[in-house]
Structure formats: C-alpha cells, structure tokens
Amino acid sequence: MTGWLVASVGMVGDGTYFGWDGFTIQSGNLIVIVVMIILFILALVLPFPGGKRRK
C-alpha cells in the first residue's frame, strides 16, 4: 500500500521551465514541439528508400 503511494508520489515533479519575457514553456512540451518540427522537415527533404527501384 505504501509502495503504491510512494510510487505515485515519485512521479510528480515540478518540471523544468524555459521562459523568455512573459512566455514560459515546460521542457517536455518544448521537446515534443521541436521533435515534430524536425520530423516535418525531414519528411520533406529525406529521399524515400527504394524510390529508384519502381517507377
């Protein structure tokens, strides 16, 4: 029972926040947004494997 409680409490953290005057964002949210933008750009520029085989 206490194990359960401790396990649950252990998951709660303040998180790390970045901010530029008036604007703040939590590190996890920032990472997810940056990853999405990188994937978007990669999807546009990377060649698709096997693209030459069939035309």
Partner 1 sequence: MTAQATPGQGAPVDEADAHTLTGRARRWLLRKLPPDKLLPEDQPSYVMSWAYVFGMGAIASLLWIIISGIVLGLNGPQWYHVSSLGSFVNSTHLWSVELFFIFMVVHLWLKFWMAAWRGGRALTWITGVISFVVSIVAAFTGYLLQTNFDSQWIAFEAKDALNAVGVGAWFNVANLGQLFTWHVTLLPLAVGAVVVLHVLLVRVHGVAPPLEAAESDAQLLHSRPEPAEAAEPAEAAEPAEVPASAESSGTQPSGIEPRGAAQ
Secondary structure class of 18 (helix, strand, coil):
strand
- Rounded to an integer, what distance in angstroms lies between the CA atom of residue 26 and that of residue 19? 9
Measured from the CB atom, the residue of 13 and 21 that comes closer to partner 1 is 13
Q: Give min distance, CB of 21 to partner 1, in A.
A: 25
Q: Does 14 bind partner 1 (CB under 8 A)?
A: no
Burial (CB count within 10 angstroms: exposed 0-12, middle 13-18, buried 19+), residue 30? middle
Measured from the CB atom, the residue of 19 and 49 that comes closer to partner 1 is 49
Per-residue binding string, partner 1, 21-40, x by CB under 8 A, is -----------x--xx--xx
